[in-house]
Amino acid sequence: MRAPILVPTVLRNLAKKPATNLFPETEPVPIPEDFRGIISYNVDKCVGCRMCVTVCPAGVFVYLPDIRKVALWTARCVFCKQCVDVCPTGALRMSNDFLLASYDNYDDKFIPLKEEKIEEVRRKLEEKKKAKGQGV
């Protein structure tokens, strides 16, 4: 009877080192230049064009019309980078962060636009409206 084809491969690999990086015990491997980490969002650059909302296949973006910005739920992200490619102002970019494990989908690291920042943007918009009203 002939030995299965996999047996020689298994025996050869028993003597080799693991092909994977034992990350928690060792340093992680260097990140390549075109790595797609978690989305980084610069709220101040965002003009509220909603292009990211249109192209996102995972439904990460929610448009907030009262402040003309988008809110992100990055725990849904599939790292396709379509939003980054389509953003006209460069408000979105892919970071090098890859340690994303969490038991909580509502963890702070998954919500770049927090309630405090939304309130700050609302205050700035109101101040601009008041300044325009006084300047007329």
Would strands 39-41 and 92-94 be described as parallel, antiparallel, or unpaired?
antiparallel
The gap between the terminal CA atoms of the chain, to the nearest Å, is 95
Q: Which domains does the chain have, with CATH numbers?
A: 42-98 (3.30.70.20)
- Digits of tens for pLDDT over the chain (136 positions)? 566 788 888 888 888 887 788 877 888 778 888 889 889 889 889 998 999 999 999 999 989 888 888 988 888 889 999 999 999 999 999 988 877 777 877 777 777 777 777 888 888 888 887 887 775 5
**DSSP at 80:** -
* Cβ pair 119, 127 in contact under 8 A: no
Q: Is the dihedral of CA 119, 124, 128, 133 positive or negative?
A: positive
- What is the value of pTM for the model shown? 0.69
* Cβ pair 48, 68 in contact under 8 A: yes
Tell me which amino acid residue 28 is: P
Provide the token pair at 96. 């090098």
What confidence score (pLDDT) does residue 6 get?
A: 86
